Amino acid sequence: MKKILIVGATSAMAEACARLWAQQGDHLFLAARNAQQLQSLAADLQTRGATKVGTRVFDANQHDQHAALLAEATQTLGGLDTVLIAHGTLTDQDRAQHDVPYALAEIGTNGLSVVALLTLVANQLEQQGRGAIAVISSVAGDRGRQSNYVYGSAKAMVSAFTSGLRQRLAKKGVHVVTVKPGFVDTPMTAHLPKGPLWAKPEQVAKDISQAIDKGRSIVYTPGFWQLIMLIIKTIPEFVFVKLKL
């Protein structure tokens, strides 16, 4: 039985993970900004088999609230061994190119708030000598592209941070998973046209859960994105600048 904290619990991918874990009878603590959605999700998870569900209304951009979240989750669950960090926003690239405060706010939400929270989570799990941390980054962080480089730069920060954190904590009994989804059909992407490269949140959730259980370090989801991004990363710069990606 896992004792799991889910940050950004009402996002589609996090909800799908929570449903998988509820069916296993795990203890769950949900943190998100919308109180009504939190309560609805908590009730749903209890009917699916979760043995304990706690909630906290939480804005990850309020860094001074991070320690209180961890303390409450640990107390409610009677310990903490798994953390999924899944909060974030989908940046409007065109607006970010012209609105500096907006661009910085997006980097703060998708990058800096994750770093701040991860620092506290890592220290707690390191001290207890066991645990797993899964962090949702993105394939967008593998190479800056004109279509989403503000969002991608924040995710690149997350990927680099989790890489270093994984190396540090591997010696301490704590496992860190960097999750790199491609296109996922969620309410946040509802306005975008869909195609064959798009995945459902349930598929991503299975990949995340399996990556935690199997001790994987980096998981592209769906898996074909690993090959796609390998190709994109190896395109020579003089060719890359001429492309529209």
Helix 100-107, helix 149-169: angle, nearest 10: 30
Number of Cβ within 10 Å of residue 66's Cβ equals 20
Count Cα atoms within 13 angstroms, Cβ side, for 61. Answer: 10
Catalytic site residue from 102, 149, 151, 220: 151
SS3 of the chain: CCEEEEECCCCHHHHHHHHHHHHCCCEEEEEECCHHHHHHHHHHHHHHCCCEEEEEECCCCCHHHHHHHHHHHHHHHCCCCEEEECCCCCCCHHHHCCCHHHHHHHHHHHHHHHHHHHHHHHHHHHHHCCEEEEEECCHHHCCCCCCCHHHHHHHHHHHHHHHHHHHHHHHHCEEEEEEEECCECCHHHCCCCCCCCCECHHHHHHHHHHHHHHCCCEEEECCHHHHHHHHHHHCCHHHHCCCCC
Helix 113-128, helix 149-169: angle, nearest 10: 10
Q: Which residues contact 99 (CB under 8 A, 6 or more apart)?
A: none
At 192 the pLDDT is 86
The phi, psi pair for 162, rounded to 5°, reads -70, -30
Active site (annotated) includes residue 220: no
At 191 the pLDDT is 87
Domains, the chain: 3-240 (3.40.50.720)
Print pLDDT tens along the chain (245 aa). 899 999 999 999 999 999 999 999 999 999 999 999 999 999 999 999 999 999 999 999 999 999 999 999 999 999 999 999 999 999 999 999 999 999 999 999 999 999 999 999 999 999 999 999 999 999 999 999 999 999 999 999 999 999 999 999 999 999 999 999 999 999 889 888 889 999 999 999 999 999 999 999 999 999 999 999 999 999 999 999 999 99
At 202 the pLDDT is 97
At 188 the pLDDT is 85
Give pTM, 2 decimals: 0.96
Q: Which residues of 97-118 are buried (b: 16+ CB within 10 A; e: fewer)?
A: eeeeeebebbbbbbbbbbbbbb
